[in-house]
Amino acid sequence: MEHVYASIDIGSDTVKVVVCELYQNHLNLLASTSVPSKGIKKGLIVEPELAKETIMRALKEAEAMLGVRIRKVIATIPSHFLDYKLIKGECNVAGDLITGNDMINSYKDGIKKELSSTEEFVTVVPIDFKINGKTVIKDPKNFPGQTLIGRAMMVTSPKKNVYSVASIIESIGVELADISVGSIGDINCFKNKDLDSSISGIINIGGDITTISLYNKGIPVSTKIIGSGGKDIDKDISYMYRINIEDAKKIKENFALAHKKNANKNEIYEVKDIEGKNLKINQLEVSEIVMSRINEILNAAKNELGGLTNKQIQYIIVTGGISNMLDFEYCLNDIMMSASKGNVKLVGLRNNKFSTAIGNIIYFLNTIKLKGMNYSMLSEDDMEKLSSPNKSVNNEGTVLGKVFSYFFGE
């Protein structure tokens, strides 16, 4: 066991942690946790101490599964007010053959020119490279050349979005190996030939918000957020039946269908209302309530996505926890014929609410591959313990990490 990576996705509904091992170019799941969020609203950290408690709990649950400390993570930052900038730069190739460092150096000047004092660098997504001013190629590593021109999409975020997450992660003794955003994680989780060759979109329905991202041939170009998500369904059920929100959430997750087509009015869920009276809810009625809200969210997301481009959107994927509901596909057919439900394919974790966390590990692997790095988030001692049948959690402290400098090796 040589290459282990941990990712944390801080959402309004839950905080997700995923730990994977890369073995023979395949990701194997080692641990995953999903802990109800506190101190996080509309995708933003509003009460840092409560958010810190939630993040610590999620990490500790994952550590209990692993038997070792999680010392480094990739963390998702809020998607609010992201900016996508096309950058271009040129460099002289250092040696006889082009390396990953040459590729990064080719658009390094472009990054510095476009990054304002109020923004924080998140990542760059390479587009293509031109060798010696002539040959255009997507991956020029190990090709001969004297000069290299690189084009890439730079993603930036307001500084407060980055440091609200970074300060909490490092305050609990975990190093922030990298940051990412939902649009990067989701596209990497679901990447396929259709996404790589089309104008496409990914809609991620979260707890408080729904994030809509537009891509051009797999390159993220824009993100919008609408202020509704899965928790609105809980509120609708709670209001209609006058039951508490916890019971409403259980009904949504364990009884209701996303679409009324296959709902059975003879299927009954018994619950007490807020006055303590017995109440019988039939599946058809509550599924109609759920379907109404899902359709409203999908319509709003469809309109936002259409407003991001004047070109035809050829391919749409919908993900997030709500997309796991039974018969969700029928809602998509009603609203967006070109859309399909996401399908997380990691064995042992086939749940769309983890798409961002899983995708961010894939993104990180692509980044270190670009640089030609051999990197693991566990020390040799930790990996030995992880491979041992007698696992025990290491309680030694960790050194606070410094943010993001690894990308440029500075």
Predicted confidence (pLDDT) at residue 193 exceeds the cutoff of 60:
yes
**Per-residue model confidence (pLDDT) at position 387:** 52
Predicted confidence (pLDDT) at residue 388 exceeds the cutoff of 60:
no
Phi, psi at 346, each rounded to 5°: -70, 120
DSSP string, 122-144: EEEEEEEEEETTTEEES--TT-B
Residues 141-188 have pLDDT tens digits of 999 999 999 999 999 999 999 999 999 999 999 999 999 999 999 999
Closest CA to 18 of 233, 189, 173: 189
Evaluate whether 199 touches 312 at the Cβ level (below 8 Å).
Answer: yes
Percent of the chain with pLDDT over 90: 81
**Per-residue model confidence (pLDDT) at position 3:** 87
Torsion of CA 130, 135, 137, 141, to 10 degrees: -80
Average pLDDT over residues 385-395: 44
Predicted confidence (pLDDT) at residue 197 exceeds the cutoff of 80:
yes
Predicted confidence (pLDDT) at residue 384 exceeds the cutoff of 70:
no
Evaluate whether 166 touches 391 at the Cβ level (below 8 Å).
Answer: no
**Per-residue model confidence (pLDDT) at position 380:** 56
Predicted confidence (pLDDT) at residue 382 exceeds the cutoff of 90:
no
pTM over the 0.95 mark: no
pLDDT range class, residue 107, cuts 50, 70, 90: confident
- Lowest model confidence (mean pLDDT) among 198-207, 224-233, 258-267, 384-393: 384-393
**Per-residue model confidence (pLDDT) at position 393:** 36
Residues 362-372 have pLDDT tens digits of 999 988 887 77
Cα–Cα distance measured from residue 76 to residue 12, given in angstroms and rounded to the nearest whole number: 12
Average pLDDT over residues 44-59: 98
Predicted confidence (pLDDT) at residue 403 exceeds the cutoff of 70:
no
Cα–Cα distance measured from residue 166 to residue 160, given in angstroms and rounded to the nearest whole number: 10
Residues 224-274 have pLDDT tens digits of 999 999 999 999 999 999 999 999 999 999 999 999 999 999 999 999 999
Predicted confidence (pLDDT) at residue 97 exceeds the cutoff of 60:
yes
Residues 327-352 have pLDDT tens digits of 999 999 999 988 999 999 898 999 99
**Per-residue model confidence (pLDDT) at position 381:** 61
pLDDT range class, residue 404, cuts 50, 70, 90: very low
Structure tokens at 259: 């679409």
- Cα angle 396, 397, 400 (rounded to 5 degrees) comes to 155
Closest CA to 90 of 125, 126, 130, 120: 130
